[in-house]
Amino acid sequence: MNKAIAIVAAAAAVTAAPQLMFAKQNLNLSSDLDMTLPGGDLFLAWSKKFGKTYSQDQESDKLATFKSNAALINSHNAQYEKGLQSYTMALNQFSDLSSAEFKATHLSQHKPTRARKEAFLDTSNLSASADWRPKGAVTPIKNQGQCGSCWAFSTTGSTEGAWQIAGNKLTSLSEQQLMDCSDPEGDKSCQGGFFDYGFEYIEKNGGIGGEAGYPYTSPPHNEACQHAKEADIVSRLKSFHDVPAGNEAQLQAAIDQVGPVSVAIDANNQAFQLYKSGIYSGPCGTQLDHAVLVVGYSPDYWIVKNSWGTTWGDAGYIKMSRAGNLCGIQNAASYPIAEKGPVPPSPAPGPAPPTPPAGKYTSIVQSIYKGPQKCNGTPQSATIAIGKCVNDGNGAFKMTCSADGTKFTQTQYSDTACTTQTRVVPGPAATCLNAGPLTYLEFTCKTAADNVEIAQN
């Protein structure tokens, strides 16, 4: 494998017959949008494609950021055309985000404190290349949304692979269960986590449920652990191991001999944010802030599955150069070992807990905030009476508050009369909750006295 790829500045390549530093491939240089359109027209076409809408206050800033990213893409791809770059960039769903905004909404640093469990594998007879996708050990690309839950997707990805490789059916596992229930192990849901903590939780819990039974919330946010769903096990682990840090041969051996491997990387770079195709060669550092899944390799690159949907990168994947320890990919890598055989049946669920009394609170104020300032500024607010059946277009819901007003519960129903319950969603009151791209919610429990005071003011 070529351990070092020379990158030559564009200015140095201006000769009568420039030499290509990278073999140019037939790669898609952009999305299906016409990059020759004027900036404003391109922005409108892009906004329509990705369903983006903005307030009047936001639009000018977003347009400026978009134009800057589009110019960077065109400049970079022009260098690719000259053979000076090994990968292309393109407009995607993140093209209206600055580096700072992208980092705040999609990346998270969470440094593990537990001792590593490193295991050394035999590297004497490794395959030149490997890919677990055609072997049926990799589920389709998923999307974490605007939430720092990449660690959960990396955890399920390697566990899904290990479960299939052990002789079981490939099953999409629940990221939401890890987010909701692995806090005691050290994970923090949308605020970050670590796949080793996820593996530890799966072991302690006796397994993990499927995505179908414990689905990812939309929009993604923090929830209390749903213990009845937590007990519905579809996949089990018997152990997990850490790849010796900074050891390329050991990472290759783990992928070759064991299966897909969870890794942490430094993804805080516009080139990574806007990557499209080819072999990504940086630039990037080693401040690990994003968890992904390595599903294979060639002599020149790692095949990496991301959790940003199929509109990012090469249909959700990226090829990361093996020249050096790029983006710190070798520094924190782990893999689980799955149990073999069918999962024993889950115990019958007990009776549902009684609905808590409404207490002294008579209503909940729902406040919606738009923009990077999160829950600051002037929101759009609505007051919802406690226990009232509210039609939401897809059925109905009721809201309740805990006795001390620190928690709320939204109970969803499939009918408009609130007779057929489908889901109970608890959450913290008076807390800023992520509800989508630059959208935040806050629920506040109110007493009758509070409402009288508001009315008088």
Identify whether residues 334 and 384 lie together within a single domain. no
Return the C-alpha torsion angle 392, 308, 243, 330, nearest 10: -150
Is-catalytic flag, 241? Answer: no
> Is residue 356 in a domain?
no
DSSP 185: G
Identify whether residues 159 and 222 lie together within a single domain. yes
At position 110, the amino acid (one-letter code) is H
Identify whether residues 321 and 448 lie together within a single domain. no
Identify whether residues 60 and 197 lie together within a single domain. no
Is the previous residue joined to 140 through a cis bond, with omega within 30 degrees of 0? no
* 394: containing domain: 361-456
Of the residues 290, 327, 418, 434, only one is catalytic, namely 290
Is-catalytic flag, 106? Answer: no
Identify whether residues 155 and 209 lie together within a single domain. yes
Answer with the one of 42, 71, 96 that is the final residue of a domain: 96
Question: Which token pair is 97?
Answer: 């985000």
CATH number, residue 230: 3.90.70.10
* Spans of the chain, pLDDT less than 50: 1-30, 353-358, 452-457
- Classify the phi-psi angles of 161: left when phi > 0, otherwise alpha if psi is within -120 to 50, otherwise beta: alpha
Answer with the one of 96, 123, 142 that is the final residue of a domain: 96
Answer with the one of 47, 72, 96 that is the final residue of a domain: 96
Of the residues 306, 401, 434, 445, only one is catalytic, namely 306
Give the C-alpha separation, 369 to 100, whole Å. 19
Helix (H, G, I), strand (E, B) or coil at 263: strand
pLDDT of 91: 96
Task: Please report the beta strands in 134-289, taking only residues with DSSP state E, as ranges in sequence order.
Answer: 237-242, 261-265, 275-280
pLDDT of 361: 87
CA distances from 242 to 161, 246, 367 (A): 16, 11, 44
- Classify the phi-psi angles of 39: left when phi > 0, otherwise alpha if psi is within -120 to 50, otherwise beta: alpha
Identify whether residues 317 and 274 lie together within a single domain. yes
pLDDT of 353: 47
Of the residues 76, 92, 150, 221, only one is catalytic, namely 150
> Is residue 102 in a domain?
no
HSE-CB at 165 with a 13 A cutoff on CA atoms is: 25
Identify whether residues 68 and 131 lie together within a single domain. no
**Domain tally, the chain:** 3
